[in-house]
Copies of this chain bind each other. A is one copy, B any other.
Amino acid sequence: MRDEVDDLVEAWGRERGDLDLAPVEVFSRISRLARHLDLARRDAFTAHGIESWEFDVLAALRRAGSPYELSPGRLLRETLVTSGTMTNRVDRLAARGLVERLPDPKDRRGVLVRLTVEGKAAVDGAFEALLAAEADLLADLPDKQRTQLAGLLRSLLAPFS
């Protein structure tokens, strides 16, 4: 079975036969899979009326557990965006009624972002759709190989933690 990256490596090999292209075989596939996954996510979420960036924020709140509250600062560290972006995102999510802003009782500078009942329903539905879409992409890979793949990816990712 051949994929896009085999073509890419072949083209580079023709032009730069002096270089060891083994890293490309791994990382170019990771980049491309990430791009395809983004599209699959977008589709799965669109069916539930939310967008990817909305899911990222709502999911962080959902994972925090009841009462589903986090500070904007914590949210931006979880989602790896800047503070300006997070202000904008929370504004729009609040306008849609999926989250609400509360004053932090412990710190008068602070704010807490809390998932509403509607927000919880939205993120739960979207997450189930995402899992279904991802399971689909994995359908052809036997369990044993999937586990092996997860393990290999973990050892690449672990140094970053």
Contacts and interface: CB of A to CB of B under 8 A. Distances in A.
B23 A134 contact: yes
Interface residues of A, number: 62
Interface string A67-111: 000000000000010000000000000000000000000000000
A27 B30 CA distance: 10
Contact of A37 (B11, B30, B135): B30
Number of copies: 2
Contacts of A5: 154, 157
Contacts of A135: 20, 22-23
Interface in A117-145: 124, 127-128, 131, 134-135, 137-138, 140-141, 143, 145
A29 B131 contact: no
A129 to B, nearest CB: 11
Contact of A29 (B1, B35, B150): B150
A137 B149 contact: no
